[in-house]
Structure 1
């Protein structure tokens, strides 16, 4: 089992190196006319240097992750924890937190290098050391809180489900009722995670309601025929951390708000801001289609599979025992089981992500069409070009990279689509 897991990890790492090779080969090609004016020669050289610096850092990061997995799988680490007098809950969290601590410490080192070496080198960083430390502490604490909130109920359910089902001697109807109850618990956990994520965003930035002025009235005018109104339009202080310019729509069930970076408000024109918000309003107006419903069909199939598997839970127990035995463990260690499961199903999840990314790209094109419909097509193109140059974005990714890795269209295809839509709408 351990060698199967490690081979899958090696294949995934090798695949990422292949993707990097495709990216580097693509960057040697001349830029198409649609995006050729985004970078002048000097700025494009800065982009290539920027990507090269990040490429070196990513290489080191991947090699380190590979070493962590090798340590986890082949060292006596798991056996040592197995011999400790711990119950199933403390054993899980000791294992999880030990590996997480190693990953977190090294992650902070890479984040520091990326922020104060790479981003600073290219004039993109505005963080101070104190802000960086605060962000890292908040993120670490949040990760720990979310780990306990999400994993503790899962462990409790897994530990008691055999007793609840009388050693899995239940009918499919009873299994359905049990799964519906678990689905309700999952929904409550989802709401808790949403709430914590929202609080995290508020800790990271200061949000201020946009004053009642002409700009706000124009934004509200864009939403006049929108079935879902956004009541809150807020400006957040991105300028204290970076030169990034962004405007986004935050959707949390019944709550919606626009977030506008102060950098965007200060440095871009009003038309460019309205173009981006028209795009976000396009997402609000989006109507479900067959591609969206396919996601729900897959979730329904997964739910039916779980309902079917619960009365046959002995199979899962046998597989878990074999996995533990292959690592020489006596006691249950759910962290290892979760790792094995996540690695084994990762190829399936990757295939699913291809479809999800495809649907997401279609929705982005549709939202761009809304900006064109509102008369802001040129402003949207101008915004994309300016942000691409400022942020050193890869504007001409290889088609294979875009189709397999991007949940938004690449800048070349995106600008080309907007230009075609503008031509089609001309009388």
Structure 2
């Protein structure tokens, strides 16, 4: 393919991706207007369900505006060769060709992030505030943003520098060595996420001694799950929404409960949520998800290696010569249809894992507390009770609430 054909292909994929996601969003938005399913009655009263539907509509409309803005900016940059123009600027500033790649990615990241700040502020301090979710102060927002930028500069810059070095040194075989780096980084993050990264933004405190800790410890011993690291995170610092998650491997494994989750749920419900997380561990979902993610990265890097030195791809985006960073950017767009298919397959697997974790919790603990906990979480977060099946199929990593409850009720 010549450079013009590649440009048209890139633009075509960008347009298709936007239209595909907007159609799914419109279907899901319409689906959210349905009455409460009979099996889910009691989660909302009439007034709160109307509020939930308003929240879903408001979020969708805002996402439509923000994503359309991003789409139009990207189209303009592709059509008018802005990426090629930026490539020329960074090459004139950089003493070395591959240092230009660092400048290029850095400028694009910060420009994109700065453009997104007004939308982020509106979403947080207007929409989330209006519906009673936002607990973040302006000070916290600014500090979070600065910390995030510093992390990107340090960690992102280091990874980008390693990538560029490996491309320069090993050329087309770079993907093998960077795959190793990426795999090691993923394992490192999984092991140390809660101990190194979360404390930069949130306060983690060990769960205090008491009846809840005793109930959790008793359940854990009953299913042969040695757990000493139970932490509470101050999620209420930013939002009233609740969550819980499991992190780490081996002795580094930790269960983290949001303080909002503890405040709004009974002890039985909290143990049931923990039982679900233990189910993921017992079924080896975390390890298999990591293995598949590493395999996915390897495949993606191999595909990238086939086009990273393509002169035609560089020309397609307006560069005057072969440009590694331009080609990486083009690859991100060209790979998106494959990425979408992979994402759908990973979501299918993720939903299967959620069913299995629910089943484990039902069999090793109790059915009703977990169902009640999920209903409360949905109600407190103004969740959509009637998502469109196509939207669930493509985007949901968890089954819908209705599907989860029906599956749990069918467990013998």
TM-score band, normalised by shorter chain? 0.7 to 0.9
Q: Paired residue for 2:66?
A: 61
Q: Spell out the pairing of 1:65-144 with structure 2 (5 A cutoff).
A: 65-77=70-82, 78-82=84-88, 84-85=91-92, 86=94, 87-144=96-153
Over residues 291-337 of structure 1, what are the superposed CA-to-partner deviations in whole Å (9 max), with x where a residue is unaligned?
Answer: x599759939966994xx99xx7x646x6111123344234432321
Partners of 2:297 and 2:240 in 1: CA distance: 44
More off after superposition, 44-53 vs 93-102: 93-102
- Which residue number in structure 1 is paired with residue 262 of structure 2? 265
Looking at structure 2, the residues matched to 258 and 222 of structure 1 have their Cα atoms a distance apart, in angstroms, of: 14
Structure 2 counterpart SS, 1:258: strand
> How far apart are the structure 1 equivalents of 2:380 and 2:215?
27
The residue correspondences of 1:191-206 to structure 2 (distance < 5 A) are 191=187, 193-194=189-190, 197-198=193-194, 199-206=196-203
C-alpha spacing 1:79/1:195, structure 2 compared with 1 (3 Å): farther
Show the counterpart of 1:171: none
The count of aligned residue pairs is 402
Contact 2:275 2:365 in 1 (8 A): no
Q: What's the offset of the Cα at 1:9?
A: 0.7
Please point out which of 383, 387, 401 is paired with 2:373. Answer: 383
- Aligned residue for 1:260, secondary structure, equals strand
Alpha-carbon distance between aligned partners in 2 of 1:246 and 1:303, rounded to the nearest angstrom: 32
Question: What's the CA shift string for 1:157-198, capped at 9, x where partnerless?
Answer: 111214xxxxx8xxxxxx7xx876554433333345557754
How far apart in 1 are the matches of 2:297 and 2:122?
44
2:352 pairs with 1:362: yes
Q: 1:225 to 1:301 in 2, by over 3 A?
A: same
Give TM-score, length-normalised by structure 2: 0.88
- 1:228-307 counterparts in 2 under 5 A? 229-252=226-249, 254-287=251-284, 296=292, 299=295, 306=302
Could you list the structure 1 runs, at least 4 aligned residues long, displaced by more than 6 angstroms after superposition: none
1:237–1:328 CA distance, 2 compared to 1 (3 A)? closer
SS of the residue corresponding to residue 407 of structure 1 reads coil
Residue 139 of structure 1: how far off its partner (Å): 1.9
The higher radius of gyration belongs to 1
What SS class does the counterpart of residue 223 from structure 1 fall into? helix
Comparing 52-61 with 250-259, greater Cα deviation is found at 250-259
Alpha-carbon distance in 2 for matches of 1:382, 1:8: 43
CA-based RMSD of the aligned residues comes to 3.0
Question: Following TM superposition, by how much is the alpha carbon of 1:31 offset from its aligned partner in structure 2, in angstroms?
Answer: 2.4
